[in-house]
Structure 1
Amino acid sequence: MTLNRRHLLAAGLAAPALLKLGTGSAQAATTLKLSHQFPGGSIDEGDFRDRMCRKFAAALKERSKGAMEVQVYPGSSLMKTNAQFSAIRKGALDMTLYPSPYAGGEVPELNIGLMPALVPSYAQALAWKNAPVGRKITEILEAKGVILVSWVWQAGGVASRERPLLTPEDAKGMKVRGGSREMDLMMKQAGAATLSLPSNESYAAMQTGACDAVLTSSTSLISFRLEEISKALTSGRERSYWFMLEPIMMSKIVFSGLPKDQQDLIMAVGAELESFGQEGAKADDTRVEEVFGKAGAKVVQLDEPTLGKWRDIARDTAWKDFANKNASCAELLKLAEKVA
């Protein structure tokens, strides 16, 4: 891959190409940087999102016979969490595994990736990719300079410092981290105060009392050790109003500069790893109950009538607000509601 001076200056942190010098000729070897906010581990142990990134790196290196390498930077160690989406759009970062609603300030359509009570199950979430709503999201991202490499959905729950946050009535007077503008709208309507912060800052917020309850994925509830400071967990294992799209994404600037065979390999490996991602998310929906229960927290489940109450609030607040943003958001919501 050949980079011009403008791209190198803009990229700074990104290093999509290195040269291996042979006898009499230069052979391009692509090195990509993949950043995420979650705790690091190994290819076999730890947060499944970090493991997924490491498996992606290993598969790419093996199947390209060393022509491609991916360096994984966990824990926002390469750049701050909220900067990663802008960076891949500009070509300053090659790849990221990133919660889609974190990018809602730049691309409002991406807030549909954490629309409360819109996605009721993994089966429906997985159906998005090949449905019109998935194709529309892919088109929107590409127009903004982002390639969607691997779809990952996660269910989530609520960790609370004191009492469970189960019904809308429970939210009154609580300070809640929802994870997206739309989730916050639903919580505010239920009577909560909301605060916006990345999930990797949740522990400190709960520890200091700035936050009473954190809504996030089952995996993040475990990885950020929220059981240490929680007395209650609302599990997302059986049903949840919290399903988030958290894909692996790549800079279109960087992707477009790669040879076709490398582009194809990136997309193939990304698609193959989606099943690993979903299995990891589902396993953590069960494991989070075990982790919190062992720590002494009260574990509660949503029943269908309670989920219906949350859905009614979401439809009148978050869904309506999202659809009124622009014609593209309105179209996305209609397409999402059609997914069986």
Structure 2
Amino acid sequence: MFQLKTITTATCAAIITLSGAVNATELKLSHQWSTKDVRHKVAQIVADEVAAAGVDLNIKIFPSKSLVKPKEQYNYISRNLLDMSVFPLSYAAGQQPAVSLTLMPGLVKNHDHAARLTQSPFMAALQDKMAEDNVMVLVHGYLAGGFVGKDKCIVKPEDVKGLQIRAAGKSFEQMLIGAGASITSMSSADIYSAMQTGVLNAANTSSSSFVSYRIYEQVKCYTPASENIALWFLYQPLIMSKDKFDGLNAQQQTALLAAAKKAEAFYLEEAKTQDAKSVETFRNAGVEIAEMTQADFDAWRDIAVETSYKEFVNSVADGQALLDLALSVD
């Protein structure tokens, strides 16, 4: 009898353990950056905080485009083929044209202005459109960026004339074409090899990506974002399948939202330091550092108004209303 009781107790314990494992939910989070990048760190904060909450929820991170190709992640989330991603939202403009506004030249003034945009009716309107695609935002975040030139500095619009250049999104591509450049589209993960093989003469992306992908090894000159002048700002949130979020229990949802809040605060503060860190990294690598003046910025913005701004309004349903919402944020 004693032996039977012992077996029964052990079996029950095994059943309880197995039941816990079965009930635990695992979410897959994909992104394109290295584990040293700020965007990976944002994802890791969310994963760690959720794990610490003890709500049977595990987030498995797949960095360095190891699970899904960068530009396919939004579509995969929309179709419930992927759970989460830290994602440059302008990549999704082919599926949801309104998100082109998240990389509109000269639209964001600085990091604090970017933070205000994320809490504005403009961002609420964009999130309503994303919800139609089964996509929701967990962590808001904008990153600033600049230009690199393989053989020369890129400061004024005339500097890109005749160059083959990479831009992160449709709106920047339109502005650069208006300045006389030719466009080669690719994710920021592919800039290094394209520079190395001569496919690109110049590129723009975030300060973080320039460092994360070691672009300083392939260029002569870097024009970074400064504290007061940054033509390039891109919204790169942590996004999630709305169906997957709705399928979590109340405790899991609460833990995930609390983790996202902590990660968002980190993201904003770290975003402010990325520009200066990138300048130091490029300078230490022997790369020339150029500076964009207010006059240079205004010249770029004038081209953008006549190209990317105008095209957005003409091609996107309620485009003018969305642009007005963005421009109304002080």
* TM-score class normalised by the smaller sequence: over 0.9
Deviations, residues 32-65 of structure 1 (Å, cap 9, x unaligned): 111000012xxxxx111111111110001102x1
Deviation at 1:261, TM superposition (A): 2.6
Distance 1:332 1:266 in 2: 29
Is 1:223 matched with 2:217? no
Is 1:33 matched with 2:28? yes
User: Superposed, which structure 2 residues align to 1:1-340 within 5 Å?
Assistant: 21-22=15-16, 28-40=23-35, 46-63=36-53, 65-238=54-227, 239-340=229-330
Check the 8 A contact 1:218/1:281 in 2, yes or no.
no
Distance 1:98 1:61 in 2: 22
Alignment partner of 1:275: what SS?
helix
- Worse overlay, 72-81 or 255-264: 255-264
Deviations, residues 127-162 of structure 1 (Å, cap 9, x unaligned): 112211011111111121001100010000111101
- Relative to structure 1, is the Cα distance of residues 58 and 190 closer, same or farther in structure 2, using a 3 angstrom cutoff? same
Check the 8 A contact 2:55/2:252 in 1, yes or no.
no
Distance 2:224 2:184 in 1: 21
- Aligned residue pairs total 315
- Relative to structure 1, is the Cα distance of residues 256 and 303 closer, same or farther in structure 2, using a 3 angstrom cutoff? same
Check the 8 A contact 2:111/2:271 in 1, yes or no.
no
**Amino acid of the residue matched to residue 87 of structure 1?**
Y
Distance 1:119 1:269 in 2: 26
Larger Rg: 1 or 2?
Answer: 2
- Relative to structure 1, is the Cα distance of residues 267 and 330 closer, same or farther in structure 2, using a 3 angstrom cutoff? farther
**Amino acid of the residue matched to residue 131 of structure 2?**
E
**Amino acid of the residue matched to residue 22 of structure 1?**
I
Q: Which residue of 2 aligns with 1:9?
A: none
Distance 1:23 1:198 in 2: 43
Check the 8 A contact 1:90/1:253 in 2, yes or no.
no
Distance 2:197 2:45 in 1: 36
Distance 1:60 1:24 in 2: 21
Deviations, residues 278-331 of structure 1 (Å, cap 9, x unaligned): 222221200111111111111012111111111111111101101111333222
- Worse overlay, 50-59 or 24-33: 24-33
Check the 8 A contact 2:164/2:201 in 1, yes or no.
yes
- Relative to structure 1, is the Cα distance of residues 21 and 115 closer, same or farther in structure 2, using a 3 angstrom cutoff? farther
Unpaired runs of at least 5, structure 1:
1-19, 41-45
Alignment partner of 2:318: what SS?
helix
Deviations, residues 176-208 of structure 1 (Å, cap 9, x unaligned): 111111101101111111111000000011111
Distance 2:15 2:199 in 1: 55
Deviations, residues 90-140 of structure 1 (Å, cap 9, x unaligned): 111010000001001000011111011111211111111221101111111
Distance 1:280 1:125 in 2: 13
Percent same amino acid at aligned positions?
Answer: 33
Check the 8 A contact 1:151/1:271 in 2, yes or no.
no
> Going by fraction, where is helix more abundant, 1 or 2?
2
**Amino acid of the residue matched to residue 121 of structure 2?**
P
TM-score under structure 2 length normalisation: 0.92
Distance 1:52 1:230 in 2: 28
Deviation at 1:21, TM superposition (A): 4.8
Distance 2:329 2:199 in 1: 38
**Amino acid of the residue matched to residue 78 of structure 1?**
L
Deviation at 1:25, TM superposition (A): 5.9
Distance 1:310 1:284 in 2: 23
Distance 2:320 2:284 in 1: 44
Q: Which residue of 2 aligns with 1:6?
A: none
Distance 1:306 1:83 in 2: 34
Check the 8 A contact 1:89/1:253 in 2, yes or no.
no
Q: Which residue of 2 aligns with 1:7?
A: none
Distance 1:98 1:270 in 2: 15
Distance 1:25 1:171 in 2: 61
**Amino acid of the residue matched to residue 68 of structure 1?**
L
Structure 1 residue runs of 4 or more that deviate by more than 3 Å after TM superposition: 23-27
Unpaired runs of at least 5, structure 2:
1-13
- Relative to structure 1, is the Cα distance of residues 94 and 187 closer, same or farther in structure 2, using a 3 angstrom cutoff? same
